[in-house]
Amino acid sequence: MEIQVIAYVFRSELKSIMSYTDMQGICIKSARYNRTSHVTGFMIECGGVFLQALEGPEEAVGSIFRRIVDDRRHHHVDLLLSNEGLRRRQFGVWALNLMFLDDPLLWHRVVGSLSSYDDFLERSQDPVFALGLLSLTYRFACAATGIDPVTVGVKRGRIPRARHMLRQ
């Protein structure tokens, strides 16, 4: 149990093509920042579209979100869900981790049966679809890296290592 947290789920689009390595670089830098604010999160990327969940103290999540909105590398940052007063985190393992949906194993195990590529782009605007896909992918990432998805205390908010990010 912890003090109440807020959870945001949002969607954004890259303005121009970026390499996997550069996106992972953004993720690790962001994770370091999130960790200092006791914020945890998880994001997925497909075709330049990001879905991201952020959880933590309301003020910290709000101020990080405002900085993300101002980031010129992406645009159309749409807040899809905001759930306040939560007593446990759904995405607590990493301060931020990033999975690429076009990773063959992830696509085969999690996404392919739910959605085609075009379908993903369209349905990613739907809050229920976005949260569901983030949850499934988070669980896949935890299982693939042997980490318990349920987190408490110091186990929360890791900085992702290369082996946690699956696509090297």
Ligand X SMILES: Cc1cc2nc3c(=O)[nH]c(=O)nc-3n(C[C@H](O)[C@H](O)[C@H](O)COP(=O)(O)O)c2cc1C
Question: Can residue 33 be called a binding residue for ligand X (CB under 6 A)?
Answer: yes
Query: Binder to ligand X among 6, 8, 24, 30 (CB under 6 A)?
Result: 30
Query: Binder to ligand X among 46, 51, 61, 96 (CB under 6 A)?
Result: 96
Question: Can residue 73 be called a binding residue for ligand X (CB under 6 A)?
Answer: yes
Number of residues that bind ligand X (CB under 6 A): 16
Query: Binder to ligand X among 7, 46, 61, 74 (CB under 6 A)?
Result: 74
- Tokens describing residue 113: 């049966």
Task: Closer to ligand X by CB, 31 or 110: give it.
Answer: 31
Question: Can residue 34 be called a binding residue for ligand X (CB under 6 A)?
Answer: yes
For the CB of residue 94, give the shortest distance to ligand X in the complex, in Å.
10
**Which single residue brings its beta carbon nearest to ligand X?**
71
Question: Can residue 165 be called a binding residue for ligand X (CB under 6 A)?
Answer: no
In three-state form (DSSP H/G/I as H, E/B as E, the rest C), the secondary structure along the chain is CCCCEEEEEEEEEECCCCCHHHHHHHHHHHHHHHHHCCCEEEEEEECCEEEEEEEECHHHHHHHHHHHHHCCCEEEEEEEEEEEEECCCCCCCECCEEEECCCHHHHHHHHCCCCCHHHHHHHCCCHHHHHHHHHHHHHHHHHHHCCCCCCCHHHCCECCCHHHCCCC
Question: Can residue 26 be called a binding residue for ligand X (CB under 6 A)?
Answer: yes
Task: Closer to ligand X by CB, 24 or 34: give it.
Answer: 34
53 and 11 Cβ atoms separated by less than 8 Å: no
Contacting residues toward ligand X, per CB under 6 A: 12, 26, 30, 33-34, 41, 50, 52, 54, 64, 67-68, 71, 73-74, 96
